[in-house]
Amino acid sequence: MESSNSGSCGQGTLYHWLVLFAVWLCGSQHVLSQKTPLEPKDKFLLSDPPIGLFDPIEISPSVLPHNTNPVEPLSPMYPNYTSYDPVLTGKCHVNFSALSYVMEKTAYDCSIPLAPLVADVICCPQVNSLVNVFQAAYGSGNDTLVLNQASANACFSDIMNILASKGANTNIPELCTLRPSNLTDASCPVKDISSFEKIVNTSKLLDACSSVDPLKECCRPVCQPAIAEAAIHISSGGANMFGSSSMPGSAVGIDVVSDCKGVVHSWLSMKLSSEEANSAFRVLSGCKVNKVCPLEFDEPSSVVKACGKASSSTPSCCAALHSYIGTRQKQIFVTNLQAINCATKFGSMLQKAGVVDDIYGLCDIDLKDFSLQGCLLRSLPTDIVFDNTTGISFTCDLSDNIAAPWPSSSSVQSLSLCAPEMSLPALPVSPKSESSGPSRTGIGVLLPLVFLTTTITI
């Protein structure tokens, strides 16, 4: 969708203006964070596939925007993305010019107004990918896969300053729980290329991860198990851990394996181009992100009180339900798969509290109701796009009539999105969408899920 001249956004639809209002209001508060960090609630995990070593990316709730007056209409904001020359430490000996592709992509994905709203699904996965690619760039030519602590401190500062100079949010470390130690992978016993290649079956690893299929990796993983095997292997210094008593969680420990996974990522980044490595890491992050509902659900006492008895079909029940979900919706953007997860999680909470009826169906609750301004992001890795003509833009799934799934019972603790029998209801496809494939300027069908997409330009 192309942006028009000043005073107009896209085609001027009310839907797009509402998205702009939310981004302006939340983005303007990005510098305000709570002094006391909140305790994250239990994560609600999907069951596929059982890799076992890769926990969901943690997003600090203290830096998420808190919209104090979300319904008041305000004019949209058009941020100024004029870059400037950053002040560097001079102690980080790496060619940043060779990293321009991944650095600019990270700056756009973590741009000032949007970073808190897309931290879970776009910004932090891209930042983690940048860390992996940077480690490889730093170690190239000196037989190392990680940084020492002194270099990590200097380089971490330089990375953040360069990103900020390109328009990135300065709260990235807090948003993504990132620190200089992420560049060191200190607890992994293997840190140099020579030792790594003596221990690991590098041909097997490279074959599995040189081309990661975004449509298959999450349900039929190939690269993830290869990374896990290599990480476990080097965490023991090369000893065969499979079939021994030194599995992760015992003698070696999950933290060591996690650090060794970073070493594996660094080695892969050396063997692939920065574009190939970045694409692979984003797909792997997407597999983790889409298993988790990132929304925080407080005790829904008002909904239980209004909907817990036979009165669940009354307007008061639907009013309470829409009001509660509306407050969740204002937190962040979520993907279509995360929305399914959130709907299942919240439905299970209501069932355990005594709500028997399918109030999602009674009250016309859709998947889009769980994402900011009804914009569901795609489950496949996506990025924020910026150019001097259209500004910043991102793609939403048009999922207006995809009903939110009501759990079959209160005991539902996981939802398989990879099982053959699991299918989402198809949307009616307009002639326009049939004639035009997926694009940034039109409406198209997104695979593998049956969702229509549109592009929001800010």
Instruction: Write down the residue that tokens 């007056």 correspond to.
Output: 69
* Residue 3 confidence (pLDDT): 40
Amino acid at site 367: L
CB of 115 within 8 A of CB of 160?
no
Structure tokens at 366: 């859709």
In angstroms, the first-to-last Cα distance of the chain is 11
Amino acid at site 10: G
DSSP 3-state of 189: coil
* Residue 435 confidence (pLDDT): 40
**Which residues have CB under 8 Å from 214's CB, separation 6+?**
283, 286, 380, 381
* 113-151 per-position pLDDT tens digit: 899 999 999 999 999 999 999 999 999 878 999 999 999
DSSP 3-state of 169: coil
DSSP 3-state of 453: strand
* Residue 243 confidence (pLDDT): 41
Amino acid at site 210: S
SS3 content of the chain, % helix, strand, coil (to 5): 45, 5, 50
Instruction: Write down the residue that tokens 């939403």 correspond to.
Output: 396
DSSP string, 430-455: PHHHHHS-S-SSS-EEETTTTEEEEE
Of 211, 214, 201, 227, the residue nearest 51 (C-alpha): 227
Environment class of 215 (CB within 10 Å of its CB; exposed 0-12, middle 13-18, buried 19+): exposed
Environment class of 166 (CB within 10 Å of its CB; exposed 0-12, middle 13-18, buried 19+): buried
Give the C-alpha separation, 370 to 412, whole Å.
Answer: 19
Instruction: Write down the residue that tokens 């890795």 correspond to.
Output: 381
DSSP string, 69-82: STTS----------
Q: Can you list the residues of the chain whose pLDDT is less than 70?
A: 1-82, 238-252, 310-313, 398-400, 410-417, 419-458
* Residue 404 confidence (pLDDT): 94
